[in-house]
Amino acid sequence: MTQHSLNQPQALPRVAFVTGAASGIGAAVCRLLAAQGVAIAAADQNAAGLAALHDSLGPDARFLGAVLDVRDEAAQQAFVAETEATLGAITDVVPCAGLARSAPAEAMSAEQWDLVLDINLRGTFLTCKATASAMLPRGRGSIVCLASITARGGQPGRANYAASKWGLGGRVKSLASEWGNRGVRVNAVAPNGVDTPMLTVGVPDHFREDVMLDRTPLGRFAQVEEVAQGIAFLLSDAASYVTGTVLDIDGGLTAGYLTHRHGADYALHQR
């Protein structure tokens, strides 16, 4: 039987492969891991955003950037190879690239549906596949995908986005089952609204303020750093016995279907 010491130090140097790294949560993950001494391989479609990220990490960071589209399997495989040749063995993976294209379902075009599924579900799978192909033979690695509260329920106007995130949850559990006995853990986080450009795409102001925030017990949206901390935990050896899980980082949104910040006060005063 394999013995695993809980006190085992993280002996090997860490190299993180992050997509969607030019903005929002992906950039915050890169900043947090780089501050912990992890080398960063950052991919995104947005060249200017990648350059800004590189600048923000400071001169001591070990950094490699690639402008690529996660739908391009060959490009991802090539960047995995370049990363391993330049920075060393990939140990941590965060497929963060994603987008929303919202519309009433009856008016949603096939192109809007396909684009969101193609990037959020297929593109992020290709990241898992390309990086795991390198990590599995070494028997070590951790992947954390980006689900969402829309992987816990539905959201009006986002049938395509919700389908992509529910699908991602099934994929996380399947990959965790498939790769666990070869040393690669696969988990996801499910954030509520996070203060990034995506928060405003197709979500009307009044819905964000009056519905989403009112139903969030902590009464605010997350900062990107708060999501990055959850991702860093799942990546690390502190989560060495955690795989196949989707961790809610939602300010309590999914804790109770009848939660209303103002309503809670109201209910407490009914006698």
Ligand X SMILES: NC(=O)c1ccc[n+]([C@@H]2O[C@H](COP(=O)([O-])OP(=O)(O)OC[C@H]3O[C@@H](n4cnc5c(N)ncnc54)[C@H](O)[C@@H]3O)[C@@H](O)[C@H]2O)c1
Active site residues: 161
| Residue ranges binding ligand X (CB under 6 A) | 19-20, 22-26, 44-46, 49, 69-71, 96-99, 119-120, 123, 146, 148, 191, 193-194, 196-199
141-146, strands of its sheet edge to edge = 63-67, 39-44, 15-19, 92-95, 141-146, 184-191, 246-249
Quote the least distance from Cβ 64 to ligand X, whole Å.
Answer: 15
Q: Which residue is nearest to ligand X (CB)?
A: 24
Quote the least distance from Cβ 16 to ligand X, whole Å.
Answer: 15
Q: Is 127 exposed, middle or buried (0-12, 13-18, 19+ CB in 10 A)?
A: buried
Quote the least distance from Cβ 98 to ligand X, whole Å.
Answer: 2
Side chain identity at residue 258, one-letter code: L
The Cα–Cα gap between 77 and 241 comes to: 28
Quote the least distance from Cβ 28 to ligand X, whole Å.
Answer: 8
Give me 240's structure tokens.
Answer: 């060495």
Beta-bridge partner residues of 204: none
Quote the least distance from Cβ 180 to ligand X, whole Å.
Answer: 23
Residue 146's alpha-carbon distances to 74, 151, 173, in angstroms, are 22, 10, 13
Nearer to ligand X, 15 or 97 (CB): 97
Query: What number of helices (H) and strands (E) belong to the chain?
Result: 9, 7
Q: Is 266 exposed, middle or buried (0-12, 13-18, 19+ CB in 10 A)?
A: exposed
Say which residues have a Cβ less than 8 Å from residue 41's Cβ, sequence separation at least 6: 15, 16, 17, 18, 63, 64, 65, 66, 79, 83, 87, 90
Nearer to ligand X, 117 or 136 (CB): 117
> Which among 196, 199, 228, 198 has a CA at the least distance from the CA of 213?
199
Nearer to ligand X, 71 or 182 (CB): 71
What is residue 209's DSSP assignment? I
- Taking CA 17 as the corner, what is the angle to CA 15 and CA 21, rounded to the nearest 5 degrees? 125
Nearer to ligand X, 136 or 253 (CB): 253
Nearer to ligand X, 186 or 194 (CB): 194
Quote the least distance from Cβ 141 to ligand X, whole Å.
Answer: 20
Nearer to ligand X, 91 or 196 (CB): 196
The Cα–Cα gap between 141 and 92 comes to: 6
